Amino acid sequence: MLRIAVQSKGRLYEETMELLKSAGIKLVAVKRTLLVPSRNFPVELLFLRDDDIPASVATGTADVGIVGLNEVLEKKQYVNVLRPLGFSKCRLSLAIPKEADYQGLEWFNGKKIATSYPNVLNEFLEKNGIDADTHEISGSVEVAPGIGLADAIFDIVSSGGTLVSNNLKEVETVLSSEAVLIGNNMYLSDDKREVLDELMFRIEAVKTAEKKKYLLMNVPRERLDQVIEILPGIKSPTILPLADEKWCSVHAVLEEKQLWEVINNLKNVGAEGILVLNIEEMVI
Ligand code: PRT
Ligand code: ZN
Protein backbone atom coordinates (compact mmCIF):
# COMPACT_ATOMS: atom_id res chain seq x y z
CA MET A 1 0.00 0.00 0.00
CA LEU A 2 1.56 3.28 -1.16
CA ARG A 3 0.93 6.18 1.22
CA ILE A 4 0.33 9.61 -0.34
CA ALA A 5 0.44 12.72 1.87
CA VAL A 6 -2.07 15.35 0.72
CA GLN A 7 -3.39 18.63 2.13
CA SER A 8 -6.41 18.07 4.38
CA LYS A 9 -8.03 21.38 3.50
CA GLY A 10 -6.98 24.54 1.74
CA ARG A 11 -6.03 25.65 -1.73
CA LEU A 12 -4.46 22.36 -2.82
CA TYR A 13 -7.22 20.07 -1.59
CA GLU A 14 -9.82 20.24 -4.37
CA GLU A 15 -7.46 19.85 -7.28
CA THR A 16 -5.44 17.15 -5.57
CA MET A 17 -8.59 15.10 -5.06
CA GLU A 18 -9.69 15.86 -8.62
CA LEU A 19 -6.36 14.63 -10.00
CA LEU A 20 -6.49 11.40 -8.00
CA LYS A 21 -10.07 10.85 -9.09
CA SER A 22 -9.15 11.38 -12.73
CA ALA A 23 -6.38 8.83 -12.22
CA GLY A 24 -9.12 6.34 -11.29
CA ILE A 25 -8.46 6.31 -7.55
CA LYS A 26 -11.65 5.98 -5.52
CA LEU A 27 -11.57 6.45 -1.77
CA VAL A 28 -13.40 4.37 0.79
CA ALA A 29 -15.12 7.55 2.00
CA VAL A 30 -13.58 10.97 2.29
CA LYS A 31 -14.23 11.44 5.94
CA ARG A 32 -11.86 13.80 7.62
CA THR A 33 -9.91 11.01 9.23
CA LEU A 34 -6.15 11.15 9.01
CA LEU A 35 -5.69 8.05 6.89
CA VAL A 36 -8.13 7.05 4.15
CA PRO A 37 -7.54 3.99 1.96
CA SER A 38 -8.62 3.67 -1.65
CA ARG A 39 -11.18 1.01 -2.43
CA ASN A 40 -9.88 0.16 -5.88
CA PHE A 41 -6.15 0.94 -5.92
CA PRO A 42 -3.42 0.01 -3.39
CA VAL A 43 -2.89 3.52 -2.01
CA GLU A 44 -3.94 5.35 1.13
CA LEU A 45 -4.14 9.10 1.63
CA LEU A 46 -2.60 10.76 4.66
CA PHE A 47 -4.33 14.11 5.24
CA LEU A 48 -2.01 16.76 6.67
CA ARG A 49 -1.39 20.51 6.76
CA ASP A 50 0.67 21.41 3.73
CA ASP A 51 3.55 22.58 5.97
CA ASP A 52 3.96 19.03 7.26
CA ILE A 53 3.95 17.25 3.90
CA PRO A 54 7.64 17.66 2.94
CA ALA A 55 8.81 16.30 6.32
CA SER A 56 6.33 13.43 6.26
CA VAL A 57 7.77 12.33 2.92
CA ALA A 58 11.40 12.96 3.90
CA THR A 59 11.06 10.80 7.01
CA GLY A 60 9.15 8.03 5.24
CA THR A 61 5.89 8.53 7.16
CA ALA A 62 4.45 8.90 3.67
CA ASP A 63 5.97 7.48 0.49
CA VAL A 64 5.01 10.38 -1.75
CA GLY A 65 3.20 13.69 -1.31
CA ILE A 66 1.42 16.44 -3.20
CA VAL A 67 2.38 19.95 -2.11
CA GLY A 68 3.35 23.39 -3.46
CA LEU A 69 6.94 23.73 -4.68
CA ASN A 70 7.18 26.83 -2.46
CA GLU A 71 6.71 24.64 0.64
CA VAL A 72 9.18 22.05 -0.63
CA LEU A 73 11.92 24.65 -1.07
CA GLU A 74 11.14 26.45 2.18
CA LYS A 75 11.15 23.35 4.35
CA LYS A 76 14.56 22.14 3.07
CA GLN A 77 13.70 18.50 3.57
CA TYR A 78 15.37 15.69 1.66
CA VAL A 79 12.73 15.05 -0.96
CA ASN A 80 12.75 14.74 -4.73
CA VAL A 81 10.32 16.45 -7.03
CA LEU A 82 8.96 13.57 -9.13
CA ARG A 83 6.86 15.72 -11.41
CA PRO A 84 5.07 19.07 -11.59
CA LEU A 85 1.28 18.77 -11.50
CA GLY A 86 0.19 21.96 -13.22
CA PHE A 87 -2.24 23.33 -10.63
CA SER A 88 -2.10 25.84 -7.74
CA LYS A 89 0.21 27.98 -9.79
CA CYS A 90 1.54 31.04 -8.02
CA ARG A 91 4.78 32.92 -7.49
CA LEU A 92 6.86 34.03 -4.55
CA SER A 93 7.58 37.70 -5.01
CA LEU A 94 9.01 40.74 -3.32
CA ALA A 95 6.55 43.62 -3.02
CA ILE A 96 6.98 47.15 -1.72
CA PRO A 97 4.71 50.16 -1.05
CA LYS A 98 3.33 51.31 -4.37
CA GLU A 99 4.55 54.88 -4.03
CA ALA A 100 8.18 53.82 -3.40
CA ASP A 101 10.69 54.65 -6.11
CA TYR A 102 12.17 51.31 -7.15
CA GLN A 103 15.29 51.18 -9.31
CA GLY A 104 16.50 47.66 -8.56
CA LEU A 105 17.31 45.08 -5.90
CA GLU A 106 19.64 47.48 -4.02
CA TRP A 107 16.46 49.13 -2.76
CA PHE A 108 16.21 46.28 -0.25
CA ASN A 109 19.59 46.96 1.39
CA GLY A 110 18.98 47.81 5.04
CA LYS A 111 15.23 47.20 4.70
CA LYS A 112 13.01 44.97 6.80
CA ILE A 113 11.11 42.31 4.83
CA ALA A 114 8.17 40.39 6.33
CA THR A 115 7.63 36.85 5.08
CA SER A 116 6.44 33.33 5.83
CA TYR A 117 9.23 32.02 3.60
CA PRO A 118 12.46 33.09 5.34
CA ASN A 119 14.63 30.31 3.88
CA VAL A 120 13.73 30.98 0.26
CA LEU A 121 14.06 34.72 0.86
CA ASN A 122 17.44 34.54 2.63
CA GLU A 123 18.85 32.33 -0.08
CA PHE A 124 17.74 34.82 -2.71
CA LEU A 125 19.11 37.82 -0.81
CA GLU A 126 22.42 36.09 -0.19
CA LYS A 127 22.78 35.07 -3.82
CA ASN A 128 22.21 38.65 -4.88
CA GLY A 129 24.40 40.24 -2.22
CA ILE A 130 21.56 42.12 -0.55
CA ASP A 131 21.80 42.85 3.15
CA ALA A 132 18.21 43.03 4.41
CA ASP A 133 16.51 42.09 7.65
CA THR A 134 14.14 39.13 7.28
CA HIS A 135 11.18 39.22 9.64
CA GLU A 136 9.23 35.96 9.84
CA ILE A 137 5.47 36.15 10.36
CA SER A 138 3.04 33.35 9.78
CA GLY A 139 -0.07 34.97 8.33
CA SER A 140 -1.39 38.18 6.72
CA VAL A 141 2.07 39.17 5.61
CA GLU A 142 0.59 41.73 3.22
CA VAL A 143 -0.55 44.03 6.03
CA ALA A 144 2.95 44.34 7.54
CA PRO A 145 4.12 47.46 5.62
CA GLY A 146 0.79 49.25 6.23
CA ILE A 147 1.11 48.91 10.01
CA GLY A 148 4.79 49.77 10.09
CA LEU A 149 5.98 46.24 10.86
CA ALA A 150 8.17 46.02 7.75
CA ASP A 151 9.28 48.00 4.68
CA ALA A 152 8.45 45.26 2.22
CA ILE A 153 7.05 41.77 1.96
CA PHE A 154 8.02 38.50 0.36
CA ASP A 155 4.90 36.44 -0.21
CA ILE A 156 2.81 34.30 -2.52
CA VAL A 157 1.14 36.19 -5.35
CA SER A 158 -1.46 34.76 -7.65
CA SER A 159 -3.79 37.34 -9.21
CA GLY A 160 -2.01 40.23 -7.50
CA GLY A 161 -5.30 41.48 -6.06
CA THR A 162 -4.13 41.20 -2.45
CA LEU A 163 -1.09 43.38 -3.18
CA VAL A 164 -3.20 46.03 -4.89
CA SER A 165 -5.69 46.21 -2.05
CA ASN A 166 -2.81 46.67 0.39
CA ASN A 167 -1.18 49.45 -1.65
CA LEU A 168 1.77 47.29 -2.61
CA LYS A 169 3.47 46.59 -5.91
CA GLU A 170 5.30 43.46 -7.01
CA VAL A 171 8.88 44.30 -7.95
CA GLU A 172 10.74 40.97 -8.15
CA THR A 173 9.52 37.44 -8.85
CA VAL A 174 11.80 35.03 -7.04
CA LEU A 175 10.13 31.69 -7.65
CA SER A 176 7.38 30.27 -9.87
CA SER A 177 5.52 27.59 -8.01
CA GLU A 178 2.88 24.95 -8.62
CA ALA A 179 1.76 21.75 -6.95
CA VAL A 180 4.32 18.96 -7.33
CA LEU A 181 4.48 15.25 -6.59
CA ILE A 182 7.37 14.57 -4.23
CA GLY A 183 9.08 11.37 -3.15
CA ASN A 184 12.07 10.39 -1.04
CA ASN A 185 15.24 8.48 -1.63
CA MET A 186 14.25 5.65 0.63
CA TYR A 187 14.04 2.09 -0.52
CA LEU A 188 10.58 1.28 -1.82
CA SER A 189 9.44 -2.34 -1.71
CA ASP A 190 8.78 -3.88 -5.11
CA ASP A 191 5.05 -3.69 -4.43
CA LYS A 192 5.15 0.02 -3.63
CA ARG A 193 7.43 0.76 -6.56
CA GLU A 194 4.96 -0.93 -8.88
CA VAL A 195 2.06 1.13 -7.49
CA LEU A 196 4.08 4.35 -7.78
CA ASP A 197 4.97 3.55 -11.40
CA GLU A 198 1.30 2.92 -12.18
CA LEU A 199 0.29 6.15 -10.40
CA MET A 200 2.87 8.17 -12.37
CA PHE A 201 1.70 6.54 -15.59
CA ARG A 202 -1.91 7.48 -14.88
CA ILE A 203 -1.04 11.05 -13.88
CA GLU A 204 0.90 11.37 -17.13
CA ALA A 205 -2.17 10.19 -19.08
CA VAL A 206 -4.48 12.61 -17.27
CA LYS A 207 -2.09 15.54 -17.78
CA THR A 208 -1.59 14.75 -21.46
CA ALA A 209 -5.34 14.60 -22.03
CA GLU A 210 -6.02 17.80 -20.10
CA LYS A 211 -4.86 20.11 -22.82
CA LYS A 212 -6.42 18.13 -25.64
CA LYS A 213 -9.88 17.96 -27.19
CA TYR A 214 -11.53 15.31 -29.31
CA LEU A 215 -13.20 16.71 -32.39
CA LEU A 216 -15.88 15.04 -34.56
CA MET A 217 -17.46 16.53 -37.65
CA ASN A 218 -19.18 15.77 -40.92
CA VAL A 219 -17.31 16.77 -44.04
CA PRO A 220 -18.28 16.73 -47.74
CA ARG A 221 -15.97 14.16 -49.38
CA GLU A 222 -14.85 16.64 -51.98
CA ARG A 223 -13.51 18.89 -49.19
CA LEU A 224 -11.69 16.13 -47.32
CA ASP A 225 -8.21 17.12 -48.45
CA GLN A 226 -8.69 20.67 -47.26
CA VAL A 227 -10.00 19.47 -43.89
CA ILE A 228 -7.06 17.11 -43.39
CA GLU A 229 -4.68 19.93 -44.10
CA ILE A 230 -6.29 22.07 -41.39
CA LEU A 231 -6.22 19.34 -38.74
CA PRO A 232 -2.97 19.12 -36.79
CA GLY A 233 -3.84 15.65 -35.46
CA ILE A 234 -1.63 13.31 -33.51
CA LYS A 235 -1.28 11.13 -36.57
CA SER A 236 -3.69 11.38 -39.47
CA PRO A 237 -7.36 11.90 -38.60
CA THR A 238 -9.81 8.99 -38.55
CA ILE A 239 -12.21 9.09 -41.49
CA LEU A 240 -15.45 7.07 -41.42
CA PRO A 241 -18.03 6.68 -44.18
CA LEU A 242 -21.58 7.98 -43.70
CA ALA A 243 -24.86 6.68 -45.17
CA ASP A 244 -24.80 9.59 -47.60
CA GLU A 245 -21.79 8.79 -49.77
CA LYS A 246 -21.05 12.41 -50.49
CA TRP A 247 -20.21 12.94 -46.82
CA CYS A 248 -17.89 11.37 -44.26
CA SER A 249 -17.23 11.69 -40.55
CA VAL A 250 -13.82 12.95 -39.44
CA HIS A 251 -12.38 12.44 -35.93
CA ALA A 252 -9.23 14.09 -34.61
CA VAL A 253 -7.46 15.11 -31.41
CA LEU A 254 -6.10 18.61 -31.07
CA GLU A 255 -4.53 21.02 -28.60
CA GLU A 256 -7.08 23.06 -26.69
CA LYS A 257 -5.27 26.29 -27.49
CA GLN A 258 -5.73 25.70 -31.24
CA LEU A 259 -9.41 24.84 -30.85
CA TRP A 260 -11.21 28.00 -31.96
CA GLU A 261 -8.90 28.84 -34.79
CA VAL A 262 -9.16 25.29 -36.18
CA ILE A 263 -12.96 25.24 -35.82
CA ASN A 264 -13.25 28.49 -37.77
CA ASN A 265 -11.05 27.14 -40.54
CA LEU A 266 -13.06 23.89 -40.63
CA LYS A 267 -16.35 25.78 -40.92
CA ASN A 268 -14.91 27.85 -43.75
CA VAL A 269 -14.18 24.76 -45.83
CA GLY A 270 -17.63 23.25 -45.23
CA ALA A 271 -17.36 21.02 -42.13
CA GLU A 272 -20.70 20.66 -40.32
CA GLY A 273 -22.02 19.27 -37.06
CA ILE A 274 -18.71 19.89 -35.29
CA LEU A 275 -18.62 18.26 -31.84
CA VAL A 276 -15.93 18.95 -29.23
CA LEU A 277 -15.44 16.37 -26.49
CA ASN A 278 -13.21 16.31 -23.42
CA ILE A 279 -10.67 13.53 -23.22
CA GLU A 280 -10.30 12.04 -19.76
CA GLU A 281 -7.10 10.13 -20.24
CA MET A 282 -4.72 9.75 -23.09
CA VAL A 283 -2.08 7.09 -23.40
CA ILE A 284 0.43 7.83 -26.11
O1 PRT B 1 -3.78 24.79 6.44
P2 PRT B 1 -2.59 24.57 5.61
O3 PRT B 1 -1.28 24.88 6.30
O4 PRT B 1 -2.58 23.20 4.99
O5 PRT B 1 -2.72 25.56 4.36
P6 PRT B 1 -2.12 27.03 4.14
O7 PRT B 1 -3.12 28.02 4.64
O8 PRT B 1 -0.72 27.13 4.61
O9 PRT B 1 -1.99 27.08 2.56
P10 PRT B 1 -3.11 27.39 1.45
O11 PRT B 1 -4.14 26.32 1.44
O12 PRT B 1 -3.56 28.81 1.55
O13 PRT B 1 -2.17 27.29 0.15
C14 PRT B 1 -1.60 26.09 -0.21
C15 PRT B 1 -0.69 26.31 -1.41
O16 PRT B 1 -1.44 26.84 -2.50
C17 PRT B 1 0.42 27.34 -1.23
O18 PRT B 1 1.53 26.81 -0.53
C19 PRT B 1 0.77 27.64 -2.68
O20 PRT B 1 1.62 26.64 -3.20
C21 PRT B 1 -0.58 27.53 -3.39
N22 PRT B 1 -1.20 28.82 -3.75
C23 PRT B 1 -1.64 29.14 -5.01
C24 PRT B 1 -1.46 29.88 -2.97
C25 PRT B 1 -2.06 30.86 -3.77
N26 PRT B 1 -2.15 30.37 -5.03
C27 PRT B 1 -2.44 32.13 -3.17
N28 PRT B 1 -2.97 33.00 -3.87
N29 PRT B 1 -1.27 30.10 -1.64
C30 PRT B 1 -1.63 31.27 -1.11
N31 PRT B 1 -2.19 32.29 -1.80
C32 PRT B 1 -2.52 33.53 -1.04
C33 PRT B 1 -1.51 34.66 -1.23
O34 PRT B 1 -0.59 34.59 -0.17
C35 PRT B 1 -2.33 35.93 -1.12
O36 PRT B 1 -2.25 36.42 0.20
O37 PRT B 1 -3.72 34.04 -1.45
C38 PRT B 1 -3.75 35.44 -1.33
C39 PRT B 1 -4.44 35.94 -2.57
O40 PRT B 1 -3.56 36.00 -3.69
P41 PRT B 1 -3.84 37.00 -4.91
O42 PRT B 1 -2.49 37.41 -5.48
O43 PRT B 1 -4.63 36.21 -5.92
O44 PRT B 1 -4.61 38.17 -4.39
ZN1 ZN C 1 0.36 25.79 5.45
**pLDDT tens-digit series, residues 239-257:** 999 999 999 999 999 888 8
pLDDT over 90 (residue 191)? yes
> Atom of ligand 1 at shortest distance to CA of 11?
11
Q: Is residue 52 lining ligand 1, measured as CB closer than 6 Å?
A: no
- 276 CA distance to ligand 2 middle (Å): 39
Is the CATH number 3.20.20.70 carried by domain 90-177? Answer: no
The pLDDT assigned to 197 comes to 97
Of 24-33, 94-103, 141-150, 258-267, the one with minimum mean pLDDT is: 24-33
User: Residue 68: CB within 6 Å of ligand 1?
Assistant: yes
198 has a pLDDT exceeding 70: yes
CATH class for the region spanning 2-86+179-209: alpha beta
Residue of the CA atom closest to atom 14 of ligand 1: 11
Pairing of β 2-7 and β 64-68: parallel
Rg (CA), the chain: 25
**Cβ of residue 148 lying under 6 Å from some atom of ligand 1:** no
Q: Which residues neighbour 244 within 8 Å (Cβ) at sequence distance 6 or greater?
A: none
From the CB of 209, is ligand 1 less than 6 Å away?
A: no
- pLDDT at residue 85 greater than cutoff 90: yes
Q: Could you please state the CATH topology (level 3) that the domain comprising 211-278 is classified under.
A: Alpha-Beta Plaits (3.30.70)
What's the CA-to-centroid distance between 10 and ligand 1, angstroms?
8
| All residues at 6 or more sequence positions from 1 whose CB lies less than 8 Å from its CB, including other chains | 37, 42, 43, 44, 192, 195
Tell me the pTM.
Answer: 0.90
Numbered ranges of CATH 3.40.190.10 in the chain: 2-86+179-209, 90-177
Q: Say how far apart CA 112 and CA 249 lie, in whole Å.
A: 65
Average pLDDT of the residues of the chain: 95
- Say what the pLDDT of residue 29 is: 78
Please choose, from the candidates 215, 217, 221, the residue with its C-alpha nearest in 3D space to the C-alpha of residue 278.
215
